[in-house]
Chain A
Amino acid sequence: MNLAAAAWLVFRKDLRIELRTGEILITTGFFALLITILTSLSFYLDDVVARRIAPGVLWISIAFSGVLAMGRSFQRERDHDAMRGLLLSPLPRPGIYLGKALGIFAFLVLVELLLVPLLAVLYRVDLGAVLGQVALITLLGTLGFSAAGALFAAMGVRVRTKELVLSVVLFPLVSPALLAGVVATREVLGGASLSEVYDWLRVLTAFDLTFLVLGALLFGPLTSE
């Protein structure tokens, strides 16, 4: 089976399980919404301040809820040691990794479809003119975050301190993507055009490609003894 077919098979499996349980979407969705609502209540001073802190709230919500989604996605692989079944199979290891990363990415994008409009309402952000730009930045950032997260969550499948590995190792590593995401979103919400945030988009794209390639290459060795 080729790489794309393997990734699609793993992704469809995760999607089928999620459609049946709704577990990842419900837990991460509620968590992200809770962060957004609580921060709006805590930090809201006026419309100007609200608009300034909105990008930070968006990316904090994505980061924290993303870790929840990654942990839960790989917990499913630990139940009944299902990951071993995947690793024993002839599926190419990079395909398994890409399928898992794609699943996490898709679940986070679905959460963001709720999160971004809610953020716009609570923080008085006019998304109308910049929706496309915000969507692009959010998708690029989420892709990199999912790619890095899938790799480290996979490492945690064979490590007892999996949550520790995920949060302690992941956040410093994804900080370039989070920083680029926050700054690019802030600039776009402040009226900058895409060309003005081009350098940040390049950072996000480079981060995505780096972690997708690294993940595909390292997933096999990291999941073997």
Chain B
Amino acid sequence: MSIDFSAVTAQGLVKMFGPTRALSGVDLELSAGCVTVIEGPNGAGKSTLLEILSLLSRPTRGTLRFGPYDAWRDRQLLRGTLGVLAHAAMLYPELTGQENLTLFARMYGVPTARIGALGERFEATSFWERPVRTYSRGQLQRVALARALLHEPRLILLDEPSTGLDVRATERLVEAVVVERARGAIVVLVTHDAALTDKLADRRVRINRGRIEDQLA
């Protein structure tokens, strides 16, 4: 079953870890074709918010809707529409980059031609026949980015995507995000990279102590 949506709406999201309140009532609207940058100090709740948006963690309270779909109830259907880049690469070190991408392409039912296109977009084809364990941080990040965008996800969650990337690779990242935004993807970017924010942000959301402090369009 193919599903789609054009907005993500969070209302009153609260997340508790025991007595610790990681999110304290977050309201957020994310729209198609818009890059939202989430900023905030360490421990502000950014990663928790991304965990909830990526459907790996259930909010303690509040509602999260992907268009008409209830995010938690319909999570199995919605998973195919998510592309996530996290701190860890989520790749198998003993497989090559190309084998990793082929594996994920099969999971998402993506044609293999798409792998080549993304490999070229992130200039990964020169090293992707080596096992992932031999990659530099930047090479790892480029293949992880290709993995996150492989299936043309509707909602793209990028956590510090420029980590380890050189100037040229960062330019490729910016180009890729611009392409995804033009395609109509909903992009959420968590970054401390001010230059990246300046280039990509359509909207900036500042989060602190589990609350949204400020939103700038």
Binding site for B on A (CB under 8 A): 1, 9, 13, 16-17, 20-21, 76, 79-82, 84-92, 224-225
Contacts and interface: CB of A to CB of B under 8 A. Distances in A.
Chain A interface helix/strand/loop/mixed? helix
Contacts of A87: 56
Contacts of A82: 90-92
Given A90-B76, A92-B76, A80 B56 contact: no
Contacts of B106: 9
Interface string B79-95: 11010101111111111
A26 B94 CA distance: 16
Contacts of B19: none
Given A88-B56, A88-B79, A80 B51 contact: no
A208 to B, nearest CB: 26
B107 interface: yes
Interface of B: 51, 54-58, 76-77, 79-80, 82, 84, 86-95, 99, 103-104, 106-109, 131-132, 140, 147
Nearest to A83: B90
B66 to A, nearest CB: 14
A62 to B, nearest CB: 25
A91 B80 CA distance: 9
Nearest to A86: B107
A145 to B, nearest CB: 25
User: Closest 9 A-B residue pairs measured CB to CB?
Assistant: A81-B88, A85-B90, A90-B80, A225-B57, A89-B107, A90-B79, A80-B89, A17-B94, A80-B88
Contact of A85 (B58, B94, B104, B131): B104
A84 B82 CA distance: 13
B56 A225 contact: yes
Nearest to B132: A80
B92 A17 contact: yes
Nearest to A92: B76
Contacts of A81: 86-90
A84 B56 contact: yes
Contacts of B80: 89-90
A16 B95 contact: yes
A55 B28 CA distance: 62
Given A80-B132, A88-B82, A225 B51 contact: yes
Nearest to A5: B106
A21 B133 CA distance: 12
Nearest to A20: B94
Contact of A84 (B86, B103, B108, B109): B86
